[in-house]
Amino acid sequence: MQALIVSNVLLWCLLVAMALVVVGLIRQIGVLHARIAPAGALMVDKGVAVNQPAPKLTAEDRLGRPVNVGYPGERAQMLFFLSPTCPICKSLLPAVRAIDRSRDDLEVVYVSDGDMAEQEKIIAEFKLDRSRYVVDPEVGMTYQIGKLPYAVLIDAEGTLKAKGLVNSREHLDSLFETELLGAATLQDYLRGQSPRIHHPGDDLPTEKGSA
Amino acid sequence: MTMDPILTATGAVSLAVILASAASHKVRAPAWFRRQVADYRLLPEALHGPAARALPLLEGALALALLWPATRGAAALAALALVGLYAAAIGINLARGRHDLDCGCAGPGAPQPLHPRLLSRNLLLAGLALLAAAPAAPRALGVFDGFVVLAATAVTVLLYAAIEVWLANQPRLLGLSGR
């Protein structure tokens, strides 16, 4: 009888623990769903070319300190363009902040535009008060940002390494992947990576360069 | 039909915890719940405010009444009626074809479109209410019985919470797989 009671108590305790784990797992799935929300369509890009020197300019952050963008420096830079009126920007901010905290060799600059009271709300909500936060349309115009949220990655030498519309954590991570691989676009990457597959007609001189 | 008191007590306490949490999220966001009541388009506009104030009070009172053996049976039947009422509200709006309406089941932070499978959750709650309403066989309860009731309640409430999040995740998963 004693053994049965002990076994029963143990089983109940384990069952409660199991139920806790199930709740935890299901909540994690919910968070994952929120983070991989559907992305928008990519677009043909314009503006500054990748693997070229980034345009240099100096802007003031919201506290009046100068922020140098595009100059050679000690650390690489990531410009994250956002706006208080863009909901996807807000959903990406936790991911951007996580990148900011996890990399010492990278300076993240938040570039925004618009009403100052709205900016303060975002800064308070996402605890960005110690980050470099620029409110200046000049930066976005120089880099020709048409869509938000947009991210630009500049290495320590001042070369623009990667840029793109970022709609999800996956897009953000792919920027760093681009930097690592040194390929400007997906097409470049595929051209460099794919083992040469012989297509009929490849050897014909008239077909050259048409791919 | 008589049941072992452990079963009826577990049903009653679990239902009480679930009702209390439902009441608390409604009380904490009264403006949101008022909009929710209006969104269901079942009551004339003059009754939206009073209904939005009365429902969380009713839920809280039922949760308390479920904990006392003397009032348990009546409270369980009232809770059964309340769950049925919610199910009817969901069913009527589903019949109207309003699949984009927020259910409002899990509070303001967890929007979730209406779907017939939400009714299965109400069926589950109705089962708990029936369990709590069943007359208990007279039996002396010891410390161990108390432990079993608490542990079983914890498991029931946790599983209910898991099912709730699971149901909320399902439309997102369907959205991802493009259906």
CATH number at residue A151: 3.40.30.10
Note the pLDDT of residue A194: 44
For residue B57, is it within any domain? Answer: yes
pLDDT tens per residue across span B9-65: 999 999 999 999 999 999 998 888 998 888 888 888 888 889 999 999 999 999 999
State the residue for tokens 């003397």: B70
**Domain range spanning residue A115?**
57-193
Q: In chain A, how many domains are there?
A: 1
Judged by a CB distance cut-off of 8 A, whether residue A42 touches chain B is no
Distance CA A2, CA A57 (A): 78
Q: How far is A33 from chain B (nearest CA, A)?
A: 7
Token pair for A47: 């503006």
Counting DSSP H helices and E strands in chain B, the numbers are 6, 0
Judged by a CB distance cut-off of 8 A, whether residue A3 touches chain B is no
pLDDT tens per residue across span B107-117: 777 778 888 88
**Are the Cβ atoms of B165 and A23 closer than 8 angstroms?**
yes
For residue A183, is it within any domain? Answer: yes
For residue A52, is it within any domain? Answer: no
CB pairs under 8 A between A and B: 46
**Residue-wise DSSP of A83-150:** -TT-HHHHHHHHHHHHHHHH-TTEEEEEEE-S-HHHHHHHHHHTT-TTSEEEE-HHHHHHTT--SSSE
Note the pLDDT of residue A187: 56
Residue A191 pLDDT grade (very low, low, confident, very high; cuts 50, 70, 90):
low
Q: Which of A3-12, A195-204, B11-20 has the lowest mean pLDDT?
A: A195-204
Cα A71 to the center of its chain, rounded Å: 21
Note the pLDDT of residue B141: 84
Q: Is the ipTM of this complex over 0.90?
A: no
**Domain range spanning residue B95?**
5-172
Q: What is the mean pLDDT of chain B?
A: 89
Token pair for A110: 């938040």
For residue A64, is it within any domain? Answer: yes
DSSP summary character for residue A206? G
Write out chain B residues lying below 8 Å of A36, CB-based: 176
Judged by a CB distance cut-off of 8 A, whether residue A38 touches chain B is yes
Note the pLDDT of residue A102: 79
Residue A2 pLDDT grade (very low, low, confident, very high; cuts 50, 70, 90):
confident
Q: In chain B, how many domains are there?
A: 1
Write out chain A residues lying below 8 Å of B161, CB-based: 23
Contact present, B98 and B144 (Cβ < 8 Å): no
Distance CA B42, CA B32 (A): 17
Contacts of B61 (CB under 8 A, 6+ apart): none
State what percent of residues in chain A have pLDDT above 70: 79
For residue B178, is it within any domain? Answer: no
Residue A41 pLDDT grade (very low, low, confident, very high; cuts 50, 70, 90):
very low
For residue B179, is it within any domain? Answer: no
**Are the Cβ atoms of B165 and A30 closer than 8 angstroms?**
yes
Q: How far is A19 from chain B (nearest CA, A)?
A: 6
Note the pLDDT of residue A32: 83
Provide mean pLDDT across the span B141-163: 92
For residue A51, is it within any domain? Answer: no
- Please, what sign has the CA dihedral across residues A116, A120, A122, A123? positive
Note the pLDDT of residue B115: 85
Distances (CA, A) of A178 to A22, A47, A96, A160, A161: 37, 18, 17, 11, 7
Residue A22 pLDDT grade (very low, low, confident, very high; cuts 50, 70, 90):
very high
For residue B177, is it within any domain? Answer: no
Contacts of A78 (CB under 8 A, 6+ apart): A96, A99, A106, A107, A108, A109, A151, A152, A153, A154, A175
Write out chain A residues lying below 8 Å of B159, CB-based: 19, 22
State what percent of residues in chain B have pLDDT above 90: 51
